[in-house]
Structure 1
Amino acid sequence: MIDRRQMLAGLSATAAVPFIARAADTPSASDLKGDVAILRDALRLHPGLYRYNTPAQIKARLSHLQAGLVAAPDLVTRYLLLSRFLATIRCGHSYCNFFNQKKAVATALFDRTTRLPFQFRWIGGAMVVTDHGGPDLPRGSEVLSINGVAPRAMLARLLPYARADGHNDAKRVSLLEVRGDDAIEFFDVFHGLEFGPPPRGLHFLMARRPDGRTASVTLPAIGLSQRRAQAIQRDYRGDAPVWDWTMRSDGIAVLTMPGWALYDSKWDWRGWLEARLDSLSGAKGLIVDLRENEGGEDCGDVILARLLRTPLKNPQAERRVRFRRTPSSLDPYLDTWDNSFRTLGVDARRTTNGFYILQGAHGSSSIQPAARALELPVAALVGPVNSSATFQFAEKARRSGRVRLFGTPTGGNRRGINGGCFFFVRLPASGIEFDLPLIGYFPSTAVPDAGIVPDIVVAPSIADMAAARDPVMERAAGWLHQTG
């Protein structure tokens, strides 16, 4: 399973697709109806379209979307309408990807001076400042209102745009945080488009500071370049490490892995990781911190292989697609990095409800034990950001019996997610792109509509944020000391 946010930023932005409208164009009603026709045909390839919806519901929503697009006065409204529709599929990989839009569209939608100047997290529905609030909003301050709107009401208004699998709303909430870990923050985009620029370029806030005092604060809105200047800079295409390794004075090693999107990396991440795992002789234990990691390559399998004594099979799940070959009429609107995806289902086995079951390379596999085994206890820190490869790692780690999970429930969904291979569908009248996953993973048994619940559930409080405490890390370290 892959996380394409960084990997494909350049690929789709430059791919040649016919008839792409400029962002400034005003498409005709007929052209916009053509976009909906392309969307409807493309969705016939989506393996998870009816996982949480009925055909009648999708048909009705497409009719409503068409009416909205035709009446929409501008690109912003069309982008919001399409984003809201795609979110109803309840697939974490189906959305109008910020990084795959044409330059003109991306500039018009995302490069706006509307952003709140600070970073924050949601804790029990409260917006809590974590950084860049300045002296007026120290870390741990709770924002009570923004331009007269309560943050809880703001969150409720933005949730319908958030992508996630099934009814796992914890993932949706995590997307609507600003943590400084992405080049374009989900909250920034939809808050800016939905609420518009603040009056006179200033955000007027009421906040409760950590000392309990309530304060009125006025802060200037910032733009995309200023937000990016706040972000943690990690080069996932370079040759330098993007993970952190610390050996604590108490004998516990901490491996922090904020991302696994290393497809284009020149860094020998596997060699780096193996060397550090080799250094653990005599250590009290290992903590693997994945809380900021949505996914990418299956890097965690290297760790699991060192812990296993017998092969760990992937969970029994069918890998289904909706087509043998893509329709030639649709092909001009489908970008991808591997044209073999257009014939993904050629050798698949037909089954019920219009599905084909993939065989061969897309079949089940397993993780084999490594020759150099690790005997020490291992804790993994997880949370709602984990929704792709890291969601799958949490599931495999749980089944291995060799890793104890700490934190809050993951993103993703135990009922299966969609991904593996993708098309980037470009709607020519609007010029908007959306990501279309092609493989659906369907478990063989009935499972909950939820993420993975950790063995030990620990969530930070507002007071923890104010004091810069990490109770999840502390709880995991305590367990390792008891176990080691």
Structure 2
Amino acid sequence: MTKSVITFLFIVSVFMAFGQSVDQPFAQKKMKKDLEVFKDIRLKANSGLYKYRTKKQIDSLYIWAENEIDKASIYRDFYNIICKLTDFEGSLHNSTSLPSKFRKSLREESYGYFPYPIKWIEGKWRINFDKGNIPLGAEIISINNEKIYDIITNLYKYYTTDGVNTTGKRIGIDISFSKYYRFNYGLKDEFIIEYKTIHSNEIKKTSLSSVAYKDFYKNVNKRYSKPFDYVNHKDWKENETYTYEMANKHTGILTVNDFGLGNEENPKHLKYVSFLDSVFTSLKHHNIKNLIVDVRYNGGGDDPNDLVTYSYLTQRNFQENKRAWISFEKIPLLRYIDFWLPKFLRPLFVGSYNKDFKEEFPLEKNGKFCQDENSADHFVRIPNKNAFTGNIYLLISPRVASAGSLFAAMVNGNKNTTSIGEETMGGYYGHNGHTPLAYKLPKSKIVVYFSVVNLEQDVPKKSNQYYNRGIIPDIEVSQSLADFLIHEDTQLNYVLKLIENKDK
């Protein structure tokens, strides 16, 4: 083989490898076309576009995006612009997905990644790895001469939450910090770290060599906190989904980790209802005074599991929501819908969806298509005959979302409830949920997801709850540094001690 042929093959192979990278060149003309399509999709299909932002704020951000494109040159630049726009809307059901070829390329990158997982503990970002060159629990001050809190703020856009909530973003940053850093700052050969060790105010400085994508995630799998916080990232098996136990003769603990148990006819749902009836019959029979309801790791699930559970924890009539609407009569911009069916068959799929939408949202009011009194969401439910009437202690965390946060918001609104923990990523007063749509941008092939139903939840107004935030606990408690080091549950220990002191 001649040298010229070898050189040619080498250049081709490099080009092919580079062509899969998020750092490959991407024409501004293509970016502008996709930004135009993205904006059109949001305006016509996304009922949550102005849920937490004014029209002026949204318009301003699109002007920013247009100006950013004028400075952009690579694919990653455009991806970051779309992530910023998506996150700004404030819906935890929003997401932005790279094409599979880029996701595969990232997984094969052999350098450029920050080596260690980090974790937010007592207001500081700390090293969450005990086998590295920086001590476990060390407070990170800066990376590559940029303050850690500025870095974290720049990475918020990759993990969406409701409203302007930021606590929920820690869930993503805890295990994907290095990937997010790579998205925002590119591949780095090394990282210059300023840090403080535990119990020291001395700022130390060191350099760390970058690692491969796969090696970072190997370290994530070995993170020090995994024995305690693996539940934040767990897919729950049916036998792990809900439990009940007695803490003492006066206090029970009901844990519900997931509402993904199917609808009214599903055997898993029927089994869960039987479980609830057994638990609350026992609570009433034994005159239990205190009930801890732990939903800290509940990311959502199916109706009516959240509502049935609430019927055992309330003394009021209630409904799933006060109001729900979508922003279109028929799904718009069908040519950009991302669906596995061939394009010529998509109208059949979309026609079925449109029929369902028309039946569910028959009332048009000022361009909004709303549910009417016949909707199951407005069915007035009554408390169960065995509903608990004692003291409820609701444990919440940044992991709580979707149906989990709807349930937690309702329980939090009870007069006999004290909520303890950290602000949830799901909103107190409402969210965008139920039906997801996915669109593929024509030039970049980025897929954007969002839920189209704008919901106002059936919860009372409370002075410590804000329209654009998650559920704010009555008593804020997060895991302490001391408990992090021994894998101890600060929040559960706190509530048990609180009940003990009140009982005394």
Kept in 1: contact 2:440–2:446 (CA 8 A) = yes
Q: Do the aligned partners of residues 235 and 176 (structure 1) sit closer, same or farther apart at CA in structure 2, a change above 3 Å counting? A: closer
2:198 counterpart letter in structure 1: P
Q: 1:454 aligns with which of 468, 473, 493?
A: 473
Q: Which residue number corresponds to residue 65 of structure 2?
A: 65
Aligned-CA RMSD value: 4.0
Q: Is residue 438 of structure 2 the alignment partner of residue 424 of structure 1?
A: yes
Q: 2:221 aligns with which of 229, 234, 259?
A: 229
SS at the partner of 1:154? Answer: helix
Q: Which residue number corresponds to residue 17 of structure 1?
A: none
Kept in 2: contact 1:378–1:480 (CA 8 A) = no
SS at the partner of 2:395? Answer: strand
Q: Is residue 129 of structure 2 the alignment partner of residue 132 of structure 1?
A: yes
Q: Do the aligned partners of residues 334 and 146 (structure 1) sit closer, same or farther apart at CA in structure 2, a change above 3 Å counting? A: same
1:480 counterpart letter in structure 2: I
Q: Is residue 306 of structure 2 the alignment partner of residue 306 of structure 1?
A: no
The 2-side partners of 1:272 and 1:218 are apart by: 57
Q: Which residue number corresponds to residue 318 of structure 1?
A: 323
Q: Is residue 202 of structure 2 the alignment partner of residue 210 of structure 1?
A: no
* Bigger Cα Rg: 2
Q: Which residue number corresponds to residue 333 of structure 1?
A: 337
SS at the partner of 1:307? Answer: coil
Q: 2:414 aligns with which of 397, 400, 408?
A: 400
Q: 1:287 aligns with which of 281, 292, 306?
A: 292
Q: Number of matched residues?
A: 447
Deviation of residue 72 (structure 1)? 3.6
Kept in 2: contact 1:314–1:365 (CA 8 A) = yes
Correspondence list, 1:40-51, <5 A: 40-43=39-42, 44-51=44-51
Q: Do the aligned partners of residues 362 and 292 (structure 1) sit closer, same or farther apart at CA in structure 2, a change above 3 Å counting? A: same
Q: Do the aligned partners of residues 251 and 138 (structure 1) sit closer, same or farther apart at CA in structure 2, a change above 3 Å counting? A: farther
Which has the higher relative contact order, 1 or 2, with Cα contacts under 8 A spaced 6 or more apart?
1
Correspondence list, 1:17-32, <5 A: 29-32=28-31
SS at the partner of 2:126? Answer: strand
Kept in 2: contact 1:251–1:285 (CA 8 A) = yes
2:423 counterpart letter in structure 1: P
Residue identity (%):
18
Q: 1:412 aligns with which of 420, 426, 431?
A: 426
Q: Do the aligned partners of residues 249 and 53 (structure 1) sit closer, same or farther apart at CA in structure 2, a change above 3 Å counting? A: closer
The 2-side partners of 1:417 and 1:396 are apart by: 13
Kept in 1: contact 2:318–2:381 (CA 8 A) = yes
Q: Is residue 122 of structure 2 the alignment partner of residue 123 of structure 1?
A: yes
1:144 counterpart letter in structure 2: I
Q: Is residue 34 of structure 2 the alignment partner of residue 35 of structure 1?
A: yes
**Over residues 210-263 of structure 1, what are the superposed CA-to-partner deviations in whole Å (9 max), with x where a residue is unaligned?**
343755566664634525634638774755424565554677444444444556
Q: Do the aligned partners of residues 45 and 56 (structure 1) sit closer, same or farther apart at CA in structure 2, a change above 3 Å counting? A: same
Q: Is residue 165 of structure 2 the alignment partner of residue 146 of structure 1?
A: no
Q: Do the aligned partners of residues 344 and 159 (structure 1) sit closer, same or farther apart at CA in structure 2, a change above 3 Å counting? A: same
Deviation of residue 333 (structure 1)? 2.1
Kept in 2: contact 1:377–1:480 (CA 8 A) = no
Unaligned ranges ≥5, structure 1: 1-20
Q: Is residue 397 of structure 2 the alignment partner of residue 383 of structure 1?
A: yes
Q: Do the aligned partners of residues 252 and 94 (structure 1) sit closer, same or farther apart at CA in structure 2, a change above 3 Å counting? A: same
Q: Is residue 98 of structure 2 the alignment partner of residue 90 of structure 1?
A: no
SS at the partner of 2:181? Answer: helix
Q: 2:272 aligns with which of 270, 273, 276?
A: 270
Q: Do the aligned partners of residues 39 and 442 (structure 1) sit closer, same or farther apart at CA in structure 2, a change above 3 Å counting? A: same
The 2-side partners of 1:379 and 1:162 are apart by: 29
Deviation of residue 319 (structure 1)? 0.8
Deviation of residue 270 (structure 1)? 1.8
The 2-side partners of 1:22 and 1:195 are apart by: 18
Q: Do the aligned partners of residues 221 and 41 (structure 1) sit closer, same or farther apart at CA in structure 2, a change above 3 Å counting? A: same
**Over residues 393-420 of structure 1, what are the superposed CA-to-partner deviations in whole Å (9 max), with x where a residue is unaligned?**
2221023334321123333334532121
The 2-side partners of 1:78 and 1:168 are apart by: 24
Kept in 2: contact 1:236–1:242 (CA 8 A) = no
Deviation of residue 331 (structure 1)? 4.5
The 2-side partners of 1:333 and 1:311 are apart by: 40
Deviation of residue 346 (structure 1)? 2.5
SS at the partner of 1:88? Answer: helix
Q: Do the aligned partners of residues 313 and 380 (structure 1) sit closer, same or farther apart at CA in structure 2, a change above 3 Å counting? A: same
Moved more, 446-455 or 84-93: 446-455
SS at the partner of 2:45? Answer: coil
2:477 counterpart letter in structure 1: V
SS at the partner of 2:425? Answer: coil
SS at the partner of 1:128? Answer: strand
Q: Do the aligned partners of residues 255 and 211 (structure 1) sit closer, same or farther apart at CA in structure 2, a change above 3 Å counting? A: farther
**Over residues 312-369 of structure 1, what are the superposed CA-to-partner deviations in whole Å (9 max), with x where a residue is unaligned?**
3345x32121111123x434424499844445542421112x2121233364234443
Q: Is residue 486 of structure 2 the alignment partner of residue 480 of structure 1?
A: no
Q: Do the aligned partners of residues 420 and 291 (structure 1) sit closer, same or farther apart at CA in structure 2, a change above 3 Å counting? A: same
The two structures have a TM-score, normalised by structure 2, of: 0.73
**Over residues 245-296 of structure 1, what are the superposed CA-to-partner deviations in whole Å (9 max), with x where a residue is unaligned?**
5554677444444444556999677268536666656567432333333323
Kept in 2: contact 1:422–1:437 (CA 8 A) = yes
Q: Which residue number corresponds to residue 346 of structure 1?
A: 358
Unaligned ranges ≥5, structure 2: 1-18, 342-348
Kept in 2: contact 1:410–1:451 (CA 8 A) = yes
Correspondence list, 1:461-472, <5 A: 461-466=480-485, 468-472=487-491
The 2-side partners of 1:28 and 1:249 are apart by: 65
